[in-house]
Amino acid sequence: MPWKAFLVLVGTTLVLTLPVGAEPQTSRAAPAASRAAPAAVDSLSAAAISPTRIYPEPAVYLLLKLPGDAVTVRYSPGSLDRAANLQTRLELASRAFKRWVDVKLEVTLYVLTREEWRQAGYDVPYGVPVRVGHRGLAAPAEGDAGTVELWAEMLKGSLPAVAGAPIRGTPQQAATMILADLVTQLLMCEILVDDVGIAGGEPWVRGLMTHLASVDLVRRYEEVRLGDLDTMYSLLAQGRPARAFSTRDYSPDLRLSDWMWFQAQFHVGSQTILAKAGKGALKKMKKLRKQTGGVLNGDVLLRRYDNLNTWYHDSFTSVSLRR
């Protein structure tokens, strides 16, 4: 499935298809340090763990602060463009959910360099955002050779490439930040789904509702990006065959590659619900939860949405295969 087009909010125009291995043009504005390969390149090793495990918050004494209505950003000096871009995206998500919750939606985002990421000790490779603290997210401050190698491995050699000159780094490095931003928004939706109260009684239901929120958000505000989300998750699904796992296998302790495979399944499942529920799907989920005693579980969803049954049985095995 080909990439379509991304609109980059800061520093460039459209994203087109560029196969990994092609020689990108380095931005004229990029400093020499941003073009150098890092000392160690992260990969999808067995040590790489799911980004939804709650990690400690990083040290903030050297980070600058960008206040916001719902999203406060602590960022590494020199990363204001990234901080402002991510804050705009996450504030939009917060405003979309505000009317459904009684509590104040507040999230802290940390935008970190590779060295700051290493010092924080996260088990997720630099280039993939993570959950931190009670209501926090940590995201990469810039792309580098390591993030290009990481995302190329996850997407089977197919990266979106940025047309024009990014503010920093090469077009491929900038493309990995676009992909990281999609996952950052997904993790933000996980926090908001908990706030709304539709996380469900089972981990896989929480994952499905998170993607329902994410796709609903994109449909309302950035519909042109739906095709790109489909492409990303289609490529991530190729890491494992269909029915590689049971829903009972889904947990925050999954390896990163396995977690990504589950996200690809949940993305398809969320669109299956939206196809039948239509406009206001999240509101309908909240109403369904109240009708079933305050807990939204898998059996309720499968009974309510017949087409979801087909997706469920085509995507997952009934027997846990996790080793």
Q: Look at residue 35 in the predicted model and tell me its pLDDT.
A: 36
For 25, other C-beta atoms within 10 Å of its C-beta total 10
Q: Are residues 174 and 65 in the same domain?
A: yes
Q: Could you give the CA distance from residue 236 to residue 239 in angstroms, rounded to a whole number? A: 6
What's the domain count of the chain? 2
- Domain of residue 82 covers 41-158+170-190
Q: Is residue 31 part of a domain?
A: no
Residues 6+ apart with CB under 8 A from 317: 243, 244, 245, 246
Q: Are residues 183 and 223 in the same domain?
A: no
Q: Are residues 85 and 180 in the same domain?
A: yes
Q: Are residues 254 and 205 in the same domain?
A: yes
Q: Are residues 207 and 259 in the same domain?
A: yes
Q: Is residue 266 part of a domain?
A: yes
Q: Is residue 150 part of a domain?
A: yes
Helix or strand or coil: residue 120?
helix
Q: Are residues 54 and 140 in the same domain?
A: yes
Q: Are residues 147 and 206 in the same domain?
A: no
Per-residue pLDDT of the chain (323 residues; tens, 9 = 90+): 566 544 444 333 333 334 444 433 333 333 333 334 333 335 666 567 888 889 999 999 899 999 999 999 999 999 999 999 999 999 988 888 877 766 678 899 999 999 999 999 999 999 999 999 989 999 999 999 999 999 999 998 888 866 676 777 888 999 999 999 999 999 999 998 888 888 878 999 999 999 999 998 888 888 878 888 899 999 999 978 888 999 999 998 899 999 999 999 999 999 999 999 888 888 889 888 888 888 888 999 999 998 999 999 999 998 776 55
Q: Look at residue 102 in the predicted model and tell me its pLDDT.
A: 66
Q: Are residues 75 and 206 in the same domain?
A: no
Q: Look at residue 220 in the predicted model and tell me its pLDDT.
A: 85
Q: Is residue 19 part of a domain?
A: no
Choose among 203, 205, 215, 322: nearest CA to 268.
Answer: 215
Q: Could you give the CA distance from residue 206 to residue 204 in angstroms, rounded to a whole number? A: 5
Q: Are residues 104 and 153 in the same domain?
A: yes
Using the structure block, give the residue that is written with the tokens 């020499």. Answer: 32
Using the structure block, give the residue that is written with the tokens 């903030």. Answer: 60
Q: What's the pTM? A: 0.85
Q: Are residues 65 and 174 in the same domain?
A: yes
